[in-house]
Amino acid sequence: MRDRHLLFYKPYDVLTQFTDAASDSSVSRRTLKDFIDVPEVYPVGRLDRDSEGLLLLTNNKRLQHRLTEPKFQHPRIYWVQVERIPTQADLEPLRQGLVIQNYRTRPAKARLLTEEPSLPPRDPPIRFRKNVPTAWLEITLTEGRNRQVRRMTAAIGFPTLRLVRVAIATLTLDGLEPGQWRDLTDTEITALRKVCKI
């Protein structure tokens, strides 16, 4: 079987799996199967149901390992809308690494975006509180623990309202809308293999 590598823009409220383990419940939840009909590809890492953005799927187990194994430290970039407006001092714990759930995170890159990023509206929209301003951060991680970004922003007092992954290693969301997927180009595959040293 030839290698397949897909980029998918995961919408909000979609599970990062092809079947719903809780499918016996009365609530039907959307999965990757509702969008992608390519057999034998699997997500590289996860995005929570309430997160959006870039997901790479592949049938190449070596590439999947290189991108998900924390020791290889491949960057993942997130745009994060938070309640209130953090200062540089507020963001410093993210840059130094902080303890959440009994482990210390690796130092992250964190910066306040000067303007709201151009993103498709979320469906449903986030719940705003009229008296509470919001801000957008760009956070770059080299590890990917369960709900890590949300736990990190909560730990510094700025709860996450919306979370969108915009890049994985050399790959970006450019050209995709929520729910769309495409095969990687030969150029993208070459660049990714170079970064992953495979």
Supply the CATH number for residue 188's domain: 3.30.70.580
Domain count, the chain: 2
Which residue range(s) make up the domain with 67?
Answer: 1-74+175-198
Instruction: Give the side-chain half-sphere CA count within 13 A for 187.
Output: 1
pLDDT at 25 over 70: no
pLDDT digits (tens, 9 = 90+) for 43-89: 998 899 999 999 999 999 888 888 887 777 889 999 999 999 999 99
The one catalytic residue in 48, 90, 123, 186 is 48
Mean pLDDT lowest among 134-143, 157-166, 187-196: 187-196
Q: Are residues 82 and 99 in the same domain?
A: yes
Cα(195)–Cα(173) distance, rounded to whole angstroms? 18
Residue 151 belongs to domain with CATH number: 3.30.70.1560
pLDDT at 175 over 70: yes
Instruction: Tell me if residue 13 is catalytic.
Output: no
